[in-house]
Amino acid sequence: MSARRRPPFSVWAPRAQRAELVADDAVISMERADDGWFTPAGPVPDGEVDYGYRLDGDELVLPDPRSRRQPGGVHGRSRTFDAGAHVWADTAWTGRPLAGAVLYELHIGTFTPGGTLDTAIDGLDELVELGIDAVEIMPVGAWSGTQGWGYDGVDWFAVHEGYGGPAAYQRFVDACHVRGLAVVQDVVYNHFGPSGNYLGRFAPYLADGRGTDWGDSINLDGHDSDEVRRYILDNARMWFEDHHVDGLRLDAVHALVDARAEPLLEELSRETDALAAHLRRPLTLIAESDRNDPRTILPREAGGTGMTGQWSDDFHHAVHVALTGETQGYYADFASLGALAHVLEQGFLHDGSWSSFRGRHHGRPLPRDTSAWRLVASIQNHDQVGNRAQGDRLSGTLGDRRLVLGAVLLLTAPFTPMLFMGEEWGASTPFPFFTSHPEPELAEGTREGRKREFSRMGWDPDLIPDPQSDETFRSAILDRAERAEPAHARVLHAYRELIALRRRLPQLSSPWLTEVRAVADEAAGTIAFTRDDVRIVVNLATEPREVELPAVAGARATDVCFTSDGDAELDIDAQRVRLPAESAVVVL
């Protein structure tokens, strides 16, 4: 029987021989079944209850591994939550598929000065006006401390109280759906955070002797792993059913250690597809993976895991190098402008090629009939900004003209575009890594770990903001007043135009990589590529360039759909375009 159907206050604790439920002021003995599940032996309180468990006579009251609320933090007692109490306004919502969508990644704590799910609702109309289809929210599962990125979560079924808890989360999703916005929730199934992780006292949730860079690995294939996997599958189901989310972004799936015949990802996609049929709306699974393995996004019937899509690191790296000229660390393999052309045509750069950063060959080619929208592409995201020494955005070093070039490359590429909050106006606020570990040893370990990580990228560790400082957190809060300033307004106008163009021209949402032809001129600093009969020409040089338009059978350059500079000149007969420095044109 699925754990979802067990009596209220049941808990899986095979490592304990005896358990007591502490509910408000009552202490209730529990009965142990052979499978390690405990159920209350007597009546339990009704309504809102603060509760926890005592195991084997220990006086410490532990929170519920499936807690829906942690009002006193992850070290305190759990509180019951009636997920069915919310009266949903989204009854007409039928969902949005990933294909054709424009995503927007945001962090609840810094998206608005209020830093809550309710205040985040105030920014949704701006996203609708921009042309966004779905918001992707960084993790909200309860973690230790008041502020953080959310990847140290330990109570996966609860929503961080600082954001407003689960009721506020339902209000936020409802508000998104009423405005036509889908919601993708970032979840972390590869590790638990280090503070407040009591699950190991109940059951073998963790894999002994195996770990990730961020914490102990999850027991996906060892003894009692059936129930551990059910814990994850039920968590995914909770987001879809109880909170009405439309998709999950799965953090670092390459860190999942799983030797079973049916990997967790495949099992998750199978159950998600079945639930989507029941709910009659599309449900999306987006994996973060650095393996460049096509099987991640191949259907299960073709031997893949059945993920709907995956993040595209190669696109980010190729565009980042083209815009900034940075080539240290993992950017080294993308030093040539030809790397960007290869990614535009093939999806991956590392498709079995040599990776100097890894010191080995990496990846496999994507099948040519792979739908390009399955690759979620970005030029900025929480990882690539926040994992820089100072958390500096592209706007920290690039002017507005070059920021617009990045927007052109992102929004005309064949992939699913994802913006990072504030990118659309070239926000000047950084997004550094920040934490609020209450334990001094964890705080210091985080500081030292960041310094070791950045030394490999060649960045000065002394420039790293203190992740535990409240000032570091406050520096990341978006300043919307910037949007009225001329340079920021120009960037915002370009993003709006390009997203609208993507809507207007079906060629720009075509799923076929086979329609893309890209030509890079390294010496000139230009790249031109086609999307069917649409031509995109980008001059990355700091001087004007004359560029030949890519050949398209039977096509003549007659319609300039977008130009980042009004001084761009087309020679229609010669099929050439003269571009000012740092400019781009889209021609139909």
Assess if CATH 2.60.40.1180 describes domain 517-587.
yes
Q: Do domains 3-62 and 517-587 have the same CATH topology?
A: yes
How many residues are there in the chain? 588
The pLDDT tens digits of the residues spanning 497-509 come to: 999 999 999 999 9
List, as residue ranges, the binding site.
249-254, 313-317, 382-387
Exposure string over 62-96, b if 16+ CB within 10 A, otherwise e: bbbbbbbbbeebbebbbbbbeeeebeeeeeebebb
pLDDT tens digits for 236-258?
999 999 999 999 999 999 999 99
pLDDT of residue 333: 97
Query: What is the average per-residue pLDDT within 530-543?
Result: 96
pLDDT in tens, 335-348: 999 999 999 999 99
Name the one residue in this structure whose structure tokens are 């814990």: 231
Residue bearing tokens 């039977």: 554
d(CA 416, CA 327): 25
In angstroms, rounded to a whole number, what is the distance separating the alpha carbons of residues 563 and 584? 6
Please choose, from the candidates 297, 228, 222, the residue with its C-alpha nearest in 3D space to the C-alpha of residue 265: 297
Hey, which bits of 396-502 come out as E strands?
A: 416-420
Would you name the residues annotated as active-site residues? 251, 288
pLDDT of residue 211: 63
pLDDT tens column, 176-206: 999 999 999 999 999 999 899 999 999 999 9
pLDDT band (50, 70, 90) for residue 457: low
Q: How far apart are CA 332 and CA 330, in angstroms?
A: 5
pLDDT at 3 over 90: no
108: left (phi over 0), alpha (psi -120 to 50) or beta: alpha
pTM of the model: 0.97
- Per-residue pLDDT tens over the stretch 223-234: 999 999 999 999
Q: Which CATH architecture best describes the domain 3-62?
A: Sandwich (2.60)
The Cα 274–Cα 259 span in angstroms is: 24
Q: What pLDDT band is residue 446 in, cutting at 50, 70 and 90?
A: confident
Residue type, 509: S
What pLDDT is stored for residue 587 in this prediction? 95
Instruction: Identify the pLDDT of residue 551.
Output: 87
Pairwise pLDDT comparison (572 vs 559), residue with the higher score? 559
Q: What is the number of alpha carbons within 13 Å of residue 145 lying toward its C-beta?
A: 25
- With a cut of 50, say whether residue 316 has pLDDT above it: yes
Q: Are the CB atoms for 150 and 141 separated by under 8 Å?
A: yes
Where do the structural domains in the chain lie, given as residue ranges? 3-62, 104-320+372-437+450-502, 517-587
CATH topology for 104-320+372-437+450-502? TIM Barrel (3.20.20)
User: Looking at residues 120-140, what average pLDDT do you find?
Assistant: 98
| Cα dihedral value 225, 226, 232, 238, nearest 10 | -160
State the pLDDT confidence band at 553, using cuts at 50, 70 and 90. confident
Express as a percent the part of the chain with pLDDT over 90.
88
Annotated binding residues for substrate, written as ranges, equal 249-254, 313-317, 382-387
CA separation for the pair 122, 142 (Å, rounded):
23
Share the mean pLDDT of the chain.
Answer: 95
Question: In the chain, what percentage of residues exceed pLDDT 70?
Answer: 97
Distance CA 317, CA 321 (A): 6
